[in-house]
Amino acid sequence: MAENDETVTLKPGERAPVSGFYDCDAGGGHRWSTDVKGHPMLPLPEECTGAVWRLAQQRPSS
């Protein structure tokens, strides 16, 4: 998977395929960091007009 692969999108509750930083698709500056592959994605903030989280930057595996 690429370091910055914008094709990886996840709905809230789906499990992260890789550890990394995820941004909402609305461009509202909402960002979520998951340290562990397999953790479920959080709901988008209430005021967010987005629908999915998009992988912004993959973290190295430990």
Q: Where along the chain do its domains lie?
A: 1-62
- The pLDDT of residue 3: 45
- How many angstroms separate the Cα of 11 from the Cα of each of 43, 57, 60, 61, 62? 8, 17, 22, 22, 25
**Which residue carries 């989280």 as its tokens?**
53
Side chain identity at residue 29, one-letter code: G
- Measured between alpha carbons, how far apart are the two ends of the chain, in Å? 16
pLDDT digits (tens, 9 = 90+) for 9-36: 999 999 999 888 888 898 877 787 776 7
pTM of the model: 0.76
Model confidence band, residue 61 (pLDDT cutoffs 50, 70, 90): low
- Is 70 exceeded by the pLDDT of residue 2? no
